[in-house]
Amino acid sequence: MPQFERKRICIAGAGAIGCTIAARMALTGHTVSVLARGATLGAIRRDGITLTDHEGTHQVAVHASEHAEFGVQDIVFVCAKAQDLAGILPRLQPLIDEHTIVVPTVNGVPWWYFYGEGGRFADQTVHAVDPDRQISALLPLRHIIGSVVFIAAEVEQPGHVVARTPHLIMFGEPANGLSPRLLELCAAVEAGGIEARPLERIRDKLWTKIIANISTNPLSVITGATLEELYTRPELKETVVAIMREVLLVAASYGARVEIDPLSFIELGAAMGPVRTSMLQDHDKGRPLELAAIGDAVLELAARFDIPMPVTRKVIDLTRFRGKQDATRHA
pLDDT per residue as tens digits for the range 84-99: 998 999 999 999 999 9
Given a contact cutoff of 8 angstroms between Cβ atoms, the answer to whether 158 and 46 are in contact is: no
Q: What is the pLDDT of residue 329?
A: 66
Find, among 258, 243, 262, the residue nearest to 309 by Cα.
243
C-alpha to C-alpha distance for 59 and 57, rounded to whole angstroms: 7
pLDDT band at 4 (very low <50, low <70, confident <90, very high): low
Has residue 208 been placed in a domain?
A: yes
Q: Are residues 33 and 139 in the same domain?
A: yes
Has residue 91 been placed in a domain?
yes
Specify if 74 maps to a domain.
Answer: yes
- In this model, does residue 327 exceed pLDDT 80? no
Whether 2 maps to a domain, the answer reads no
* pTM more than 0.95: no
- Single out the residue of 154, 276, 282, 290 nearest to residue 227, CA to CA: 276
**Sign (positive or negative) of CA dihedral 192, 96, 198, 255:** positive
CATH number for position 284: 1.10.1040.10
pLDDT greater than 80 at residue 125? yes
Note the pLDDT of residue 67: 95
* Residue at 217 is within a domain: yes
Rounded to whole angstroms, the Cα distance separating 186 from 29 reads 15
- Give the span between the Cα atoms of 86 and 83, in whole angstroms: 7
**pLDDT reported for residue 225:** 96
- CA distances (Å), origin 305, targets 56, 121, 161, 302, 310: 47, 11, 41, 6, 15
- 256-307 tens-digit pLDDT: 999 888 888 888 888 888 888 989 988 998 888 999 999 999 999 999 999 9
Indicate if 298 and 161 belong to the same structural domain.
Answer: no
d(CA 59, CA 50): 4
Q: Choose one of 200, 219, 242: the last residue of a domain.
A: 200
Closest among 36, 56, 55, 52 to 44, alpha carbons compared:
36
Domain span including residue 68 = 8-200
284 and 309 both lie in a single domain: yes
183 and 287 in a single domain? The answer is no
Q: b vs e for 215-246, b when ≥16 Cβ sit within 10 Å of the residue's Cβ?
A: bbbbbbbbbebbbebbbeeeebbebbbbbbbb
Q: Supply the residues annotated as catalytic.
A: 209
Q: Are residues 146 and 168 in the same domain?
A: yes
Taking the C-alpha atoms of residue 280 and residue 295, their distance in angstroms, rounded to an integer, is 14
Tell which of 200, 219, 253 closes a domain: 200
Q: Tell me, yes or no, whether 17 and 51 share the same domain.
A: yes
Within this chain, do residues 226 and 127 fall inside the same structural domain, yes or no? no
Query: What Å distances lie between residue 9 and 80, 93, 189, 249, 302, CA to CA?
Result: 16, 14, 10, 38, 37
Contact 27, 55 (CB under 8 A): no
Cα distances from 322 to residues 229, 275, 287, in angstroms, run 20, 21, 13
Same domain assignment for residues 52 and 70: yes
Is residue 128 in a domain? yes
Number of domains forming the structure of the chain: 2
Q: How high is the pLDDT of residue 1?
A: 44
Q: Using one digit for the tens of pLDDT, what is the confidence trace for 32-62? A: 999 999 999 999 999 999 999 988 999 999 9
Domain boundary among the residues 200, 223, 241 is at 200
What are the φ and ψ backbone dihedral angles of 25, each rounded to 5 degrees?
-70, -40
Describe the strand order of the beta sheet including 195-199 as a list of residue ranges. 146-150, 168-172, 195-199
Q: Which CATH number fits the domain that encloses residue 51?
A: 3.40.50.720
Task: Please tell me whether residues 69 and 103 are part of one structural domain.
Answer: yes
**Pair 218, 194 in one domain:** no
Residues 144 and 38 in one domain: yes
> Are 42 and 175 found together in one domain?
yes
Residue 1 within any structural domain of the chain: no
Q: What is the pLDDT of residues 182-203, one digit of tens each?
A: 999 999 999 988 999 999 999 9
User: Does 331 fall in a domain?
Assistant: no
